[in-house]
Each structure stands twice: as C-alpha cells, then as structure tokens.
Amino acid sequence: MKKYLLFVLLAALPIVAQEKLLYKDSTAPIENRVEDLIGRMTHDEKLDYLGGTGVATKINTRLGIPELRMTDGPAGVQWNKCKSMAFPAPAAMAATWDLDLIKQVGAGIGRETRGHGRHVLLGPCVNIVRMPMGGRNFESFGEDPFLASRMAVNYINGVQSEGVAATVKHFAVNNEEIDRMYVNAIVSRRALNEIYFPAFKAAVQEANSLCLMTAYNKVNGRFASENDYLLREILRKEWNFKGLIMSDWWAVHSSLPTAQGELDIEMPNGDFMNTKTLKSSVESGLLSIEAVNEKVRNILKLIFKLGLFDKPILQQDLSLVNSAVNRKIAYETSLASIVLLKNEKDFLPLNKNKLRTIAVIGPNAAEPRTGGGGSSEVNDISPVTILDGLKNRLPANVKINFAKGVSLDSETKIVPIKSTYLYTDKTGKTNGLNGEYFNNIDLHGTPVLSRIDETINFTWDENGPGFGVLNNRYSVRWSGYIKVDKTEDYPIATLSDDGMRLWIDDKLIQDAWYPHASMKKITTLKLEKGKFYKVRFELFEKGGGAEAVLGMGVGREEIFDKAVNDAKNADCVIICVGTNKDIETEGRDRFDLFLPNDQDILIEKIAAVNKNVVVVLVVGSPVVMDRWINKVNGVVDAWFPGTEGGNAVADILLGNANPSGKLPMSFPQKWEDCSAYPTYNRIKERTYYSDDIYVGYRHFDKYGIEPLFPFGYGLSYTTFEYSKFDVSKNGEDYEVSFDLKNSGKIKGEEVAQVYVSSTAKTMDMPIKELKGFSKVSLNPGEQKKVTIKLDNNSFAYFNEQFNQWKIDPGKYIIHVGSSSRDLKFNSEIEIISK
C-alpha cells in the first residue's frame, strides 16, 4: 500500500511542476491574469512597486514581472542620448491642421520608440498656450482647446497603433515654466472645463490614451499629483479613465495624501511612495490595501496590454529609426506646417531661374534648429539646415553667400561693461557701481559688505564672495549709472546664477528672480551720447556657486559688417532668425517677445541695403516684429521644423510647394496685449487666471484688440473662393456645407474653419469659438463641396452653478472662413429648449 501511494505521488509531481500559472497564460483574459498576479505579490512588494527606477518601472524577479520602459518625448525619441529622428515640434504639427498627417507622425514616433526598445512614449503635451513667452509652448498644440483636442486624438491613435503606450501630459494647467515646481494656478472650474481640460478629455475618451502624466504645479491650492478634483472627480469618475496615472519627474510632494489619491506611480523614484513610508499606514488602516492594489493593478494592466509578459520588447531594432518612411513623414509635416505670414506684391515664391546671387543670413540658417530644449529635445540624425536645403534645391549656377550676422549659441561671450562707462553717481567722478552685499536672499536689512565694483564680472564658487558674506546664501545689489560716448542701439547683456533683475532708468527690463542655472539674457536699448542712465542690477544665490556679469555688446560689429556687405551685392536676401533650444526650453519662460541677440537690428540693417528681403522665422512660439515687418517683402514661419526642415523651407521659398500652414496661436503686436499680462509672474508662487476662458483669440475678440497675425491665419500662393454656404439640421447635429474653389493657377490646400457664436444673454460667452475645420486640397480651377458637422458639444458651455455642461436655448451664429478674423459667411440658427 505504501509503495502504491508513493507511486501516485511521484506520478503527480510532473503535473504540478508543469502547471501553468494563470498570470503567465497568454490565452487568459488580462483582468484575470492581473488579479492572479496581484494575489501572489506581498504587501511589501506592492508598496515598493509604486515608485519608478528613473525611466522605467521596477522588475520583480521573484514573479518575473518585466520592466515598463519609458522615453521622452513628443517630437521624437529622447532616451539615453540615443540618436533619433526629430519630427517637427508639436506647435508645427498643429500648424498643419492635417489630422491624417498627425496620425502618421504619431505612428512614426511609435515606430522609433519600438526601435529603441522602449514601451511608453511620454507624450503628447496638450497644455494650452496661454501666454506667448511660455517655455514649452513649442511642445503644445496651440491656444485653442478644439484644435488641440483633434491633434491629440490623432497623434495618440498613431502612437498606439504601433503597440506603444502614449502618455498625455501635463494634467493640468501647466501653462508656464517659471516656478513650475510649486506655482499655484488659481483658475475657475469653467475655464478648466472649457479651455484646459478638453484636449485631455478627448485623449482619454476618444483616443483611449493608455497613460496620463500629472503636472508639477498646484491647481487651486493642491499639487496636481495629489489633487482629488483633477484625478478622482474628473479623470477617474467623470471621464472613466482606466489607464495608468504617473507623476511628472519629482512632482510628488507627500506620501500618504498622494497614496490615498489616484496617482499610480511616482517617477522617477519612489521617494514618497515606498514600503518604508507607507507600510505603517497600511497596517493602521489609514491606507487600504485595496487602494494600493488598484495602483499596482493599473501598472500591471498596461504591461499585459502591451504584451510584455508574453513577448517583451527587449532589444533595439534600429531599422525602425530614421527610416525612409519616417523622414518622408517628417518632411511632409514640416512642409504642411510652414505659415506664410507676409508676401508683399507676391514676392514669393522666388524665381530660381532669375537668381544669380543669394545672401543667406542669420543664426538659424546654417544651424539645425530642429526643436526646443528640455525633455523634448531630440539627438537628431543628419538634420538638414535651411542653408543645406537651399543648396539642395537651387541650380548649381546660383551663388549662395552665407553670413551668420549674430549668434544665438551658448558660446556667445558677454563682454562686461568697461568701468569707463559706469559711474557711482551723476557727478561722473568715480567709475564703477555701488555694490551692496546681504546675508539673505531678499536684499533685506543692512548690507554686510558695501564697496565699489569697477566692473560686474564675477564667478563665485560655493564659498561665495567672502568678506563676511555667507558662503552660498546671499544677495547683491549693484547701482549707479551708465554713460556712453556714442548714440546707438546697445545690447545690454547679463549672465546670472541664481536669480537676477535688471532695471534701466527704473524700468525693469530683465527679470528672472527665481533659482536657475547659468542664464544669459540680452536686451537692446537705444542709448544717447553723454546721457546718464540709472542702472540697478540685483542677484541672489540660494545654494552652490554664483555668476554675475553685466555686459554691453557681444562682439557683433564685425559679423554685422559681413552680413551687410553680402546683402548689398545679392539679388535677394533670405534672413533666417528666431530662437533655439536654449531660449525656448523646459524649465524657464522667455523674458519677452523680441528676437534675441540683436536679430531685430540685423534685419533692419539688411533691409536698409537690399529691398528684396524675406525673413524666415525658426521659432516655437510668437515673436513681435514691429521694428522690421514693414521693411521686408516676405515673412515665413517655419517653426522648429525637425530633421527635414531645411528641405521643406527651401521648397516653399522656391515654389516647389505651396504653403498651407495656419497659425495655431495668435501672434500679438506686443506682450501687453495678451490675456496673461496682468497676472503672470506678479505674485511669487501664485498665478491668478484672471483671463478665465478668454485666452488667445477669445481675448483679442472680447477686447477688440488687433493681433499682429490672428489665430488660424496663413497665406497661400494661390487663392480660394467660398460659395453656396448652407447650414442644415441632421438629426441632433448640424451640417455646415459650402463650396470651396481654387481660383488661382497652382495647386493648393486651404484650411476652412467653422466658428460658433452664441447670442444667449444668460452667460458671458466668447465672441466666437472654433468648432470645426477641414483641410482641403484643390487643383487650379477645381471646386469641392465641403461638409463639417457640429454636434451638441459645439453649443455647450460649462455652468459652474450647476457644475455641468449646458446648452442655452436661443440663437447661435455659425461662421465659416479662412481664419478667426477672415470670416466669409455666417448663418443664424435657433436652438429650442428641450
């Protein structure tokens, strides 16, 4: 009998050994696999799983849980300094208004993500462009929630079609970079729901984005990563988001409050959410184990959905990176994004058969400015500059002379103002500036050191200035006067680390009064010979070393001269100006809307010696142009155009392609015209969204302000005619139809835009809002019927009193046109109360 039992037990052993665990069964439903796996994890393992490992989730070797690998960013893969292809910046993507093309872009980035062996793309960024100086404007889809929503949905659909998870970010109202880690955005629920939420909502509900990233900032008093209104009420309950919620890197500020909320994983590491910080809360019942299970569940669901348990992406497949298909998509996107802003007397396109000599001038002509800085920066492969593109496209007999004109790059040296131009007072007897050094970061109290500094050119290590000044926590004020010996425009330059402020004649002209790394800033001012100009330069250092340089000039005269001489002898001049990844970048906002480093002066000097000038802007967001726009024939906005941008720009300038881009954001005439101007950076660590829903063109419309270029604007080399406008009811929806004809001589694409106005008086409403658009391609003489549908959402607004969306009965006006300020037709409809 004993021998028989032993035989039975031994016979059963192979069956037990071969039994397949449910979570490893690829044929079982994902939900069942997840629950089986959670049931096998210890409490400590679950709590430890709530923090990342840099750019991935943790590996559990005991249970064989693989890592979930992440990568930046929205314009191309940025991971571990790997080489990738740079697609045009998201602002450029939005300027295409081409949904099919943006889906292709998403798919292309998804392929490159797989090619680098990563699983999760940390994009797209859908935060609304509220203020034109925002450091990450280039990384967003513009100022309008409807346009941003359509872009987000198609981008995400493209990414996820390649088996890669998209991450819509940053939830919510991350609209400025200054103080971004802790600024409190105070904004109404109406503005949240009508302006700042829609692109996130569309990403979650329409595109089924698998991941969402929270923002750094507070929203109405609570950090986004532990904000119950954002994450629980809106995201989980109202929008029914079932995906993974991750923090931005170092955006978690608490342990228990965050763990009790809806955030699933703290990135990059579990500094606040880990076994050590949370175990006692679980044991005491303050944090339920089911709340922890839900977070683990959301991480594991994504791993299973991506198939990483069954067929993990472990190795790189570089055949997917920089492929011919992706370069074609990048080229077509750049081409479709280019906005023709001005074309005096049809100066463009240039007739390459009549050209003999071209002067190509500017800091963005021979440098590849493919994108902005920060987490979205791509280490691009074989980028094509504008100068390269022109050489590629022009006949060999056309001579191209290149001159940089000015420099934007970090190697630009600031020349300290000589002591002979600085004075302690208006008597002019003593050279230098009065220096006052304080043992605090607020310039308060009595200085611990007062002296005359002949020039302001200091680099201090962690030991500080000495002479009784604290090692790494101090502030300095230099004051006095500047007097020059020649009347002209002077570039007043500063170098600072940490915070700085600069006044000239009691006018604040530079302001970065917050901790930052080494930062250069140049402001051009006209100074008159022999006149004393009051100057005050302030600096604080909060930790580590410091830099303080007050300069005037960057060695510009000699390179100006070459540029001007080249321009004099050219048939035409192409001036390539703008910004770069150091000026438009994550982590800080621009100081102003002017072209930096004397580029405005450069354009003026060139325009004075040659009347055939076109300016190409390489930027991520608006700049002002009042000094020179009436002195040049053409202006082209190329954005940050990606790897193939140079070829695309050349094809537009030379007429090989017809520009079809439209502005996804308004270009103001001056910063003071913008909605955020009254409240931005006025109170430390706090921003009141006093503009409420009146952002971008809504603001310009409400107050009758004329923008430099309106939202939706863009010229073409051909002309379009709208006719036979009609609005009809189709069930619950309305259909807006019209005929669109290419009345010109070359093929072109027009973006027809539909706006809705409400005449109801129960609620303050925008003059009009974008609710539909269609990009239509037409051959010369061709005509097409265009139909755009408007559903109930097109007429709804968010009512704060009832905390819900409402449609008021009454009359509404439906407009169609080629921009927000060029409306061709309108029709009135009436909505009857249900």
ω into residue 124 within 30 of 0, thus cis?
yes
Catalytic positions, written as ranges: 248
Three-state DSSP class for residue 97: coil
In terms of Cβ atoms closer than 10 Å to its own Cβ (0-12, 13-18, 19+), residue 810 is middle
Q: Nearest CA to 344 among 629, 599, 622, 603?
A: 629
In terms of Cβ atoms closer than 10 Å to its own Cβ (0-12, 13-18, 19+), residue 834 is exposed
DSSP code of residue 431: B
Residue labelled with tokens 């706090």: 686
d(CA 743, CA 63): 67
Which residues have C-beta within 8 Å of that of residue 87, sequence separation ≥ 6? 75, 76, 93, 105, 108, 109, 326, 329, 330, 333, 642, 643
**How do strand 797-799 and strand 804-806 relate by DSSP bridges?**
antiparallel
Q: CB–CB of 814/766 below 8 Å?
A: no
Both tokens of residue 438?
Answer: 């304080």
Residue labelled with tokens 């920066």: 377
Residue 9, φ and ψ in degrees, nearest 5: -65, -45
Residue 608, φ and ψ in degrees, nearest 5: -75, -20
CA distances from 491 to 3, 401, 512, 532 (A): 98, 26, 18, 17
Which residues have C-beta within 8 Å of that of residue 643, sequence separation ≥ 6? 85, 86, 87, 322, 327, 330, 368, 370, 380, 381, 382, 383, 384
- Other CB atoms within a 10 A radius of the CB of residue 120 amount to 24
Q: Nearest CA to 185 among 173, 197, 203?
A: 173
Q: Which long-range contacts (CB under 8 A, 24 or more apart) does 57-63 make?
A: 57/265, 57/299, 57/303, 63/23, 63/37
Q: Provide the sign of the torsion angle of the four alpha carbons 274, 277, 282, 285, taken in this order.
A: negative
DSSP code of residue 65: B
Which residues have C-beta within 8 Å of that of residue 45, sequence separation ≥ 6? 60, 62, 63
d(CA 84, CA 372): 15
Q: Nearest CA to 791 among 725, 734, 728?
A: 734
Both tokens of residue 37?
Answer: 């796996």
Q: CB–CB of 262/236 below 8 Å?
A: yes
Residue 39 CA neighbour count, 13 Å, CB half: 9
Both tokens of residue 495?
Answer: 């170098």
Q: What string of DSSP letters covers 553-607?
A: --S-HHHHHHHHHHHHT-SEEEEEEE--TTTSBTTB--S-SSPTTTHHHHHHHHH
Which residues have C-beta within 8 Å of that of residue 5, sequence separation ≥ 6? none
Residue labelled with tokens 């977070």: 295
CA distances from 458 to 122, 223, 381, 660, 735 (A): 39, 37, 38, 50, 66
CA distances from 600 to 219, 361, 495, 524 (A): 38, 13, 21, 9
Q: Nearest CA to 655 among 474, 342, 394, 265?
A: 394
Residue 733, φ and ψ in degrees, nearest 5: -105, 170
- Other CB atoms within a 10 A radius of the CB of residue 67 amount to 18
